[in-house]
Chain A
């Protein structure tokens, strides 16, 4: 008896798209996401290339569609514990982690977080802001339920508190909540586990983590985003001043035998986008982008780069900088590079430097792959099937993969592959 249901692992744009497509076809979908909200990496972006659409504005309707669709069961803050069976008849054991907040009662008003005494470094804001021990993952989170982080909550650390319980009008706080287990019976599985950001402190020559005004691209995205920690204002971390000159360094950790050998696919475009956005916010700001190859291969991408050059004061220099030092007086980062086109060795000072960090399979991907019995390649990506005609198959029959967990790719490519994986899953269900 084929289970006409599909388990989708990962609630980023790929997981969301695959879920909606399958649900629209009448298939039951279980969308499992380990974070407290769906949305994935796209929720952290300000705008998306090459249309410069606001990321949240095009993502939120899809997130809400997932939450409201009668055929989709949203399982957030959940993880896969085990899976058995075969195509048509999988049994998946899912652990629903305790939020310590009752999902049915919480209305997402935020009174609890306002009064919570404990501040925690905010992961969603790439370490640039703080959240509380009771928090909503981001303002537009779906579901909008709050969650308590037991690693930081005073009460769970044995100290006195309980402020949130006292103040919650909906009486939604439940410190005694336990992890729950559920068994899902599905006919196919789609892996859409997405990516994490490489820790670029490993490239000590660039000084991230040590030099105040050197940031990663994700930190920049959060900074320039109106709902981010600085309300969309660019501020130098050292003195809070507005930068007038920005430098973007590409391939930080990518295309590097010492770090990640592969190309992260999206950095040439997202750095250009960030330079464009910065100039839009501050018309006197100019950017310099240090690249090796400008990989703008998608539809409309070359025109985007051209516009950046002619309308948004972006200068492109072909060079891989050697190191970044600091001007001791004003803490301006200084880049040392060889301009390979003019063969000149230069040092140049900038107000702020942004590193396009390498992107890699998410850290939980390996654990998930092991539980499902799917092979990964040397970099941790889900191994592509050897059959070129079947690019979404994995080494386990009935399990498909799509999006960044297969290979670095941008949003349009992820969305296409998510729909394609949905097609294959539907086909697998129909064939039994």
Chain B
């Protein structure tokens, strides 16, 4: 059935944001003269209750079949206006958003007449385009009520438990033969100084007993296919291949402690070790009289610019434990800033000072020298920046405070799941401020040291946050995606692979097509459930095989071709 195009145009003043520069009534008048426009209105705030109901009423009264709102930015308001159209009975994809604020009034504040002419152009283009939009339906995919958690350390365990307690099925995959991650090698935790086992054991116990959690020990991830709601992960569990079908994935694979090869006598002297090595001694805090700790070993340097976040605190912990076990011991911490951030850790720093632990500051350009004889370190020389003098400290134990570094197979996992790594080798989240535990690809999340060094409370926080994000699609049972997705015409696809490479969301993949009497050929195919409609593939395609609905060539050409 072909019906005549009936476009409603609604131009917003946006308070004075648009109306203060653009002559809105003039634009409204102009809109009325455009082809197919059945009505044109101006509103003070189109997004207000008032503005929205005006649009809804006009849709019903005038049987509008297309709506153009010329106002602010679709980033914040597209969903709002689309929903409004839907409620009034108009398919929400028959709506076009024209930006008269960021694209017009705000950038041409000193040229109101020209801004008005530009606004008229933009509205005309919007009307030309909207006529070519087609009604579409949102894509809805079912979500499996199960999560795959990679890594059985404190992060993985915490996420597993909180999701299982809400009724979701959890597959916990751990490559070692036992659960616990790095904390297995830690003796006591800061700042309570309780044994790490006191934290880990009840957690591991709860996870092993939980009916909703399936634990896979000695298992490695081999492949991952699928998309949010429907991932298929293949693991190798003690020699056997097994498929796990889940709706969401949380990456909690942890990190490893940096071992400073040949620095400060490590490997040469038996009494020079990392903080983690020291933890492994379990007890014997009173065995030392002259302890010297060196901070920032392998961190905040050319090789690795980042700060390990909590290694200073590990140093404080071991220093305090030594001092408490042996009050006459001399404990000196050589540092380049004491990173005791916030309330708890500043208090902890002060506790260390009160116990008589000494802090000496050195410069990156003049690192301390560890001197010894045979297999034992005996002295540490350091240039005290603040005193301006060389000091020599006797040492019967030298502890090197090193940062966490990325786990060895991050690269492999990154490729497997098509999630990015940052320059530092840790997993890179979608947005550092507002989306710290999410990846750009929907349905996959990250928590704990896999993302960046994180102490226990931070790891647990991230794990619970990732669990909250994972719970969203699982709670809803469905994932709804925007209908403005890319489509590839297999007849035109030359299989060059550009689009597969360029897609940031891993939404384009290879597929085989062929009719019975033709040889099969590989072409690229877009998975609409994963596609975010960014258009990179369409822009990269040299064969013109990809169209992005909502931004097709015809629509763009119509916008360009519409003459004033």
Interface residues of A (CB under 8 A from B): 17, 21, 24-26, 48, 50-51, 53, 58, 60-62, 64, 68, 104, 107-110, 144, 255, 261-265, 293-303, 306, 340-341, 343, 377, 379, 381, 384, 386, 388-389, 391-392, 407-409, 411-413, 415-424, 426-427, 430-431
Q: Which residues of A contact B365 (CB under 8 A)?
A: none
- Cross-chain contact B338 with A341 (CB below 8 angstroms): no
Nearest B residue to A381 via CB reads: B343
Contact A416–B465 (Cβ < 8 Å): yes
Bound Cα distance from A426 to B471, whole angstroms = 9
Which of these, B340, B457, B465, contacts A419 with CB under 8 Å?
B465
Contact with A along B430-466 (1 / 0, CB 8 A): 0111101100000000000001100011101111111
Interfacial chain B residues near A301, Cβ < 8 Å: 306-307
In the bound complex, what is the Cα–Cα distance between A408 and B343 (angstroms)? 6
The CA-CA distance from A419 to B16 in the complex, in Å, is 36
Measured CB to CB, the nearest residue on chain A to B50 is A107
Report the minimal beta-carbon distance from B387 to chain A, rounded to whole angstroms.
8
Q: A26-B475, A265-B341, A411-B433 are in contact. Are A61 and B346 (CB under 8 A)?
A: no
Interface centre among A264, A384, A388, A391 (most CB of B within 10 A): A388
Cβ-based interface call for B186 (8 A): no
The proximity string for B residues 493-529 relative to A, scoring 1 for CB distances below 8 Å and 0 otherwise, is: 0000000000000000000000000000000000000
Task: Enumerate chain B residues within 8 angstroms of A293, measured Cβ to Cβ.
Answer: 337-340
The answer to the question of B344 belonging to the interface, with a C-beta cut-off of 8 Å to chain A, is: yes
Inter-chain contact A426/B166, CB cutoff 8 Å: yes
Assess the B434–A415 pair: CB atoms within 8 A.
yes
Q: Does B300 sit at the interface, judged by CB under 8 A?
A: yes
- Report how many residues on chain B are interfacial, defined by Cβ distance under 8 Å: 71
Closest-CB distance, B339 to chain A (whole angstroms): 5
State A418–B462 Cα separation when bound (angstroms).
10
Once A108-B15, A262-B343, A407-B342 are accepted as A-B contacts, the answer to whether A422 and B468 lie under 8 Å apart by CB is: yes
Known A-B contacts A261-B347, A302-B305; A420 and B50 likewise in contact (beta carbons under 8 Å): no
Choose from A17, A297, A389, A423 the contact partner of B203 (Cβ within 8 Å). Answer: A389
Q: How far is the CA of A430 from the CA of B468 in the complex (A)?
A: 13
Query: Which residues of B are at the interface with A, using a C-beta cutoff of 8 A?
Result: 15-16, 44-45, 48-50, 75-77, 79-80, 158, 162, 165-167, 189, 192, 194, 199, 202-203, 300, 305-307, 309-310, 337-347, 350, 385-386, 388, 422, 426, 431-434, 436-437, 451-452, 456-458, 460-469, 471-472, 475-476
In the complex, which of the residues B75, B432, B464 contacts A412, with contact meaning CB atoms closer than 8 Å? B432
User: Is B48 a contact of A426 with CB atoms below 8 Å?
Assistant: no
Q: Using known A-B contacts A420-B465, A423-B162, determine if residue A61 contacts B437 with beta carbons closer than 8 Å.
A: no
* 22 pairs, CB–CB < 8 Å, chain A vs chain B: A25-B476, A62-B434, A64-B77, A104-B49, A107-B50, A255-B346, A262-B346, A295-B337, A296-B307, A297-B307, A301-B307, A341-B386, A388-B457, A392-B464, A407-B344, A416-B462, A419-B466, A422-B468, A423-B467, A430-B165, A430-B166, A430-B167
Contact A58 B461 (CB under 8 A): no
Residues of A within 8 A of B472 (CB): 21, 24-25
CB pair B433 A415 closer than 8 Å: yes
Question: Cβ of A430: which chain B residues have Cβ within 8 Å of it?
Answer: 165-167
User: Judging by beta carbons under 8 Å apart, are B464 and A423 in contact?
Assistant: yes
Check A21 against B338 for contact (C-beta < 8 Å): no
Q: How far is the CA of A392 from the CA of B551 in the complex (A)?
A: 46
List, in ascending order, chain B residues with CB within 8 A of A50's CB. Answer: 432
Give the docked Cα–Cα distance between A300 and B339 (Å).
15
Which residue from B76, B167, B386 sits with its C-beta under 8 Å from A64?
Answer: B76
Query: B341 touching A420 by the CB < 8 A rule?
Result: no
Closest chain A residue to B310, Cβ basis: A297
In whole angstroms, how far apart are the Cα atoms of A294 and B471 in the complex? 38
A388 touches B199 (CB 8 A): yes
Q: Least Cβ distance of B143 to chain A in Å?
A: 12
Flag if B346 contacts A420 (CB, 8 Å): no
Chain B residues with CB under 8 A of A419:
437, 464-466, 468-469
B433 CB contact (under 8 Å) in A58, A255, A386: A58
The winner among A262, A389, A427 for most chain B CB atoms within 10 A is: A389
- Given A302-B307, A381-B343, A407-B344 in contact, is the A416-B436 Cβ separation under 8 Å? yes
Q: Which residues of the partner chain B approach A407 to less than 8 Å between Cβ atoms?
A: 342-344
Contact of A391 among B345, B347, B460 (CB under 8 A): B460
Q: Which of A265, A296, A299, A384 is B452 in contact with, Cβ under 8 Å?
A: A299
Task: For the complex formed, measure the closest distance between the CB of B313 and the CB atoms of chain A, giving whole angstroms.
Answer: 10
Cβ A413 vs Cβ B75 within 8 A: no
In the complex the two chains form, is A262's CB within 8 Å of B15's CB? no
Determine the distance from Cα of A409 to Cα of B203 in the docked complex, in whole angstroms.
27
A306–B79 CA distance with the chains assembled, in angstroms = 40
When distances are taken between beta carbons in the complex, the residues of chain A under 8 Å from B337 are 293-295
Most A C-beta atoms less than 10 A away, residue of B194, B339, B456:
B339
Which one of A17, A107, A303 lies within 8 Å of B305 (CB-CB)? Answer: A303
Chain B residues within 8 Å of A296, by CB: 307
Q: With the chains together, A25 CA to B469 CA distance in Å?
A: 9
Q: Which residues of B contact A300 (CB under 8 A)?
A: 306, 432
Residue from B194, B347, B451 having most chain A Cβ neighbours under 10 A: B347
Residue of B nearest to A429 (CB): B166
Most buried by A among B189, B338, B346, B463: B346
Interface centre among A60, A61, A341, A420 (most CB of B within 10 A): A420
Residue from B48, B75, B437 in contact with A416 in the complex, judged by beta carbons closer than 8 Å: B437
A17 to B166, CA, bound (A): 20
Do B437 and A263 have beta carbons less than 8 Å apart? Answer: no
A423 x B45 contact (CB < 8 A): no
Cβ-closest chain B residue relative to A59: B434
Q: Which B residues lie within 8 Å of A379 (CB)?
A: 343
A68 to B77, CA, bound (A): 10
Q: Are B76 and A412 in contact (CB under 8 A)?
A: no
A108 to B346, CA, bound (A): 45
Q: Is the CB of B45 within 8 A of A107?
A: yes
A25 CA / B143 CA spacing, docked (Å)? 13
* Cβ distance A108 to chain B, nearest Cβ, rounded Å: 6
Q: Give the nearest-CB partner of B313 in chain A.
A: A297
Question: Do A423 and B189 form a contact, CB below 8 Å, given A255-B346, A384-B344?
Answer: no
Q: For the complex formed, measure the closest distance between the CB of A404 and the CB atoms of chain B, giving whole angstroms.
A: 10
Most chain B CB within 10 A, of A109, A302, A427, is at A427
Distance from B91 Cβ to chain A, minimum over Cβ atoms (Å) = 20
- What residues on A are CB-neighbors of B203 within 8 Å? 389
A427 touches which one: B162, B350, B458 (CB < 8 A)?
B162
